[in-house]
Amino acid sequence: MTDLAPLRRALLSVSDKTGLIELGQALAERGVELLSTGGSAKALRDAGLDVRDVADVTGFPEMMDGRVKTLHPVVHGGLLARRDLEGHRDAMVEHNIGPIDLLVVNLYPFEETVAKGADFDTCIENIDIGGPAMIRSAAKNHAFVNVVTDVEDYAALLAELDANDGKTTLALRQRLAQTAYARTAAYDTAVSTWMAGAIDAESPRRRSFSGTFKQTMRYGENSHQKAAFYTDGTNRPGVATAVQHQGKELSYNNINDTDAAFELVAEFDPAESPAVAIIKHANPCGVARGATLHEAYQNAFDCDRTSAFGGIVALNQPLDEATAPAIVEIFTEVVIAPGASDAAKAVFAAKKNLRLLTTEGLPDVKAQITTYRQVAGGMLVQDKDTGFVSMDDLKVVTKVAPTDAQMADLLFAWKVAKHVKSNAIVYVKDKATVGVGAGQMSRLDSALIAAKKAERMADAMGLPEPLTLGSAVASDAFFPFADGLMEAAAAGATCVIQPGGSMRDDEVIAAADDAGIAMVFTGMRHFRH
């Protein structure tokens, strides 16, 4: 396989014409013959460049509304011909096929068309055929041919030509080919994923997922693991789309935890009141509403001050000057919010390592998203948990019904429990978590841990009694036995929200009645393994 390959002839056919004129001019200045099609050819000619139409090369006009223009042996032969094989060279001469040394193609904007909500037929018409076919041909023959699918590779290509007297290195062509195959794979993924939804194929025979590189990570969850961050093209508000204003580069764990924090705080409508979520290891250590953002932060912090140290803070409203000083009082890894005032940014500026991320809004917690997780030999694919219950969905199952204030706390606790690792127990009082138990092998242990955390915080704050006294408690799944419920009662809970559905529901309800506890069933669980 040759290393340096000359670049004498290029085919440019792009949907996104960013940088096209500049690239065409740079190639022409280096003596490269330009071939093109349609709008790309017109744009290049309008810029004063000498361009030959592909139709003149193939002898066939563009037809069928542009569906057929580059699907021709003269084009693909020029891309696929091996320059080192006599038989290939003879075939090129016999059939008047000129070599194409550079292909510059970016594809019809299918993803953008879908994102705009276009109808089925419009989306179909925006599926590129000739482009992916040429890309694959050029990429396969990267021993001799350069294929460029991303605007950001234009500069690298030109730099190579300058460094190698109009030639490119094999290393560059290999990198370009890999990028090209990944681009067509991502494009096909977008088409197949959209079509699965469009035809209501819940479990299609084949599925693929793709991403676009955003940044490297210093390491993964641990220092011996390599990692990188990729975006999925959905532009969902969050860590992938946020602007980082200051602080160190985000780590793998930072991104994972920040995502968890922002998805949780988005459960609380900012139009109703400010809300703050503090996250540690993807679990909430404090969540609260407040009359002000500062009050919400303080109430969230008071749930578990110990765990909040080195945590992630997510806000459902823009960071303001009153809240910023409270946040910087302790070591915090990341703050994410839908905006931040200049005064708040100035407060944060004194903490150089504190990352401040802002988004243009909150994610839609009810939007349907497909999630996936790798397991050995495969992937688990499911809908994102967008389950929601309202006051009207709750079923009172005890003799005592919750008060309006208790019901508000129960629903608050339920929203938080959805984001706590399963076997979750969440105590809430006055729209603030006062104890969180997460991820234990038994629900009883989670209840014990949550209560113990509340006791510890009461001691630290000099309170006469834990805030779990008179609290509402949420369980992400049913109580299989009454012991977990009794542990919550012992901690001071006066009302309970849980899915129900256990074989021993009657036993648990009876225990609640005996203890004078109000209990409601949601009919929905929120396991988060």
> pLDDT of 40-60, one tens digit each?
889 999 999 989 888 778 777
* Distance (Å, whole) CA 529 – CA 516: 32
CA distance 291 to 275: 9
Q: Output b/e per residue, 288-307; b: 16+ Cβ within 10 A.
A: bbbeebbbbbbbbbbbbbeb
Query: What pLDDT does residue 432 have?
Result: 96
Q: What is the pTM of this model?
A: 0.85
pLDDT score of 59: 74
pLDDT (average), residues 444-450:
90
Residue 11 and residue 75: Cα distance in Å, rounded?
9
Asked whether the beta carbons of 265 and 275 are under 8 A apart, the reply is yes
Give the CB-side neighbour count of residue 262, counting CA atoms within 13 A: 29
Report the C-alpha gap between 410 and 270 in whole angstroms: 19
* pLDDT over threshold 90, residue 200: no
> For residues 30 and 19, what is the distance between their CA atoms, to the nearest angstrom?
17
Please, what is the end-to-end C-alpha distance for the chain in angstroms? 50
User: Mean pLDDT for the chain?
Assistant: 92
| Angstrom distances, CA of residue 359 to CA of 21, 237, 245 | 33, 6, 11
How much is the average pLDDT of 440-444? 89
Q: What is the pLDDT averaged over residues 173-179?
A: 96
Q: Are 105 and 149 in contact (CB under 8 A)?
A: yes
pLDDT, tens digit (0-9, with 9 covering 90-100), for 201-251: 888 988 888 898 999 998 999 999 999 999 988 889 999 999 999 999 999
- Residue 426: pLDDT band with limits 50, 70, 90: very high
Assess if residue 493 is contained within a domain.
yes
What confidence score (pLDDT) does residue 66 get? 67
59-63, 173-177, 204-208, 437-441 — which one is most confidently predicted on average? 173-177
Residues 128-162: pLDDT tens digits?
888 899 999 999 999 999 999 999 999 999 999 99
Domain count, the chain: 3
Give pLDDT, residue 513. Answer: 94
* Other Cβ atoms closer than 10 A to 459: 10
**Beta pairing, strands 243-246 & 355-358:** antiparallel
pLDDT of residue 507: 92
Alpha-carbon span 305 to 454, nearest angstrom = 10
CA distance 355 to 5: 46
The answer as to whether 372 is a domain residue is no
The pLDDT tens digits for 271-298 are 999 999 999 999 999 999 999 999 999 9
Name the residue range of residue 457's domain.
388-521
77 band by pLDDT with thresholds 50, 70 and 90:
confident
CA–centroid distance for 411 within its chain: 27
The residue from 343, 358, 373 where one domain ends is 358
Which is the catalytic residue, given 167, 281, 345, 452?
A: 281
**pLDDT tens-digit readout, 308-355:** 999 999 999 999 999 999 999 999 999 999 999 999 999 999 999 999
Q: Is the domain of 83 the same as that of 127?
A: yes
Which one is catalytic: 17, 140, 345, 351? 140
Same domain? 11 vs 131: yes
Arithmetic mean of pLDDT, 29-50: 90
Q: Distance from CA of residue 105 to its chain's centroid?
A: 27
Please, how many CA atoms are within 13 Å of residue 63, restricted to the half-sphere of its CB? 7
Does one domain contain both 60 and 191?
Answer: yes
Same domain, 151 and 11: yes
Q: Is residue 366 part of a domain?
A: no
Mean pLDDT within 75-93: 87
486 part of a folded domain: yes
The mean-pLDDT minimum among 8-12, 59-63, 69-73, 445-449 falls in 59-63
- 41 three-state secondary structure: helix
Q: Is 248 exposed, middle or buried (0-12, 13-18, 19+ CB in 10 A)?
A: middle
Residue 486: which CATH number?
Answer: 3.40.140.20
For residue 2, what pLDDT band results from cuts at 50, 70 and 90? low
Instruction: Out of 147, 170, 198, pick the residue that ends a domain.
Output: 198
pLDDT tens track for 378-409: 989 998 999 999 999 999 999 999 999 999 99
**Residue pair 254/334 in contact by the 8 Å Cβ criterion:** yes
Do the beta carbons of residue 396 and residue 497 sit within 8 Å?
Answer: no
Domain assignment present for 101:
yes
Active site residue 72: no
Residues 259 and 149 in one domain: no
Any idea what the CATH number is for the domain that residue 58 is in? 3.40.50.1380
Residue that has been written with the tokens 């209501």 in this structure: 200
Sorting pLDDT into bands at 50, 70 and 90, what band is 39? confident
Would residue 121 count as lying in a domain?
Answer: yes
- Return d(Cα 16, Cα 247) in angstroms, integer: 34
Q: Cα-flanking dihedrals φ and ψ of residue 289, to 5°?
A: -95, 165
Do 352 and 439 lie in a common domain? no
Same domain, 313 and 409: no
Per-residue model confidence as pLDDT tens digits over 455-493: 999 998 899 999 999 999 999 988 888 888 888 889 899
Beta strands in 138-282 (DSSP E): 146-148, 167-168, 212-216, 228-231, 243-246, 275-280
**Residue 116 confidence (pLDDT):** 87
Rg (CA), the chain: 30
Q: Is 281 a catalytic residue?
A: yes
CA dist., res. 201 & res. 107, Å (int): 26
For 487-507, what is each residue's pLDDT tens digit? 888 989 999 999 999 899 999
